[in-house]
């Protein structure tokens, strides 16, 4: 894990889910996934959009030409855990596609215009993943 992510994770846990720096004021969760190739546990800080009981995450990678590793991990192993504030929640991930994807991504881009910019930086369609709490 990068030093950058390690510092964010530590700050997140010390401050009940709040962090400063580039994520200050943004909704952030810690995504616990299993490596698609390694099978090793991974933790990724990710911005999210909460709607109902779902947590939507966006595989933007700041507009890079490839998807982030956590996206590949969720495709290979959709059962995951998230930390939201002080809560730990077991979830199942599924990709949102078509008009539903476009609508959710549009809401995120309206709230956080950086997401609209990410779309202009890449030729790929940025995946949207719904994290749904296990029942």
* Residue 132 burial class via C-beta count within 10 angstroms: exposed 0-12, middle 13-18, buried 19 and up: middle
- The rounded radius of gyration (Å) of the Cα atoms in the chain is 14
CATH topology of domain 3-133: Pnp Oxidase; Chain A (2.30.110)
Q: pLDDT digits over 64-107, tens only?
A: 999 999 999 999 999 999 999 999 999 999 999 999 999 999 99
Q: pLDDT digits over 50-59, tens only?
A: 999 999 999 9
Q: pTM for the complete prediction?
A: 0.95
């Amino acid at each position: 894990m990068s030093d950058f992510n390690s510092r964010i994770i530590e700050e997140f846990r010390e401050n009940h889910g709040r962090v400063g720096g580039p994520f200050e004021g943004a909704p952030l969760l810690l995504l616990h996934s299993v490596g698609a190739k390694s099978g090793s546990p991974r933790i990724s800080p990710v911005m999210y959009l909460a709607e109902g009981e779902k947590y939507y995450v966006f595989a933007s990678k700041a507009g890079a030409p490839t998807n982030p590793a956590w996206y590949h991990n969720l495709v290979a192993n959709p059962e995951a855990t998230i930390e939201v504030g002080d809560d730990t929640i077991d979830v199942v991930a599924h990709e949102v596609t078509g008009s539903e994807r476009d609508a959710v991504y549009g809401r995120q881009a309206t709230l956080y215009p950086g997401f609209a910019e990410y779309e202009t930086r890449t030729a790929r369609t940025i995946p949207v993943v719904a994290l749904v709490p296990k029942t």
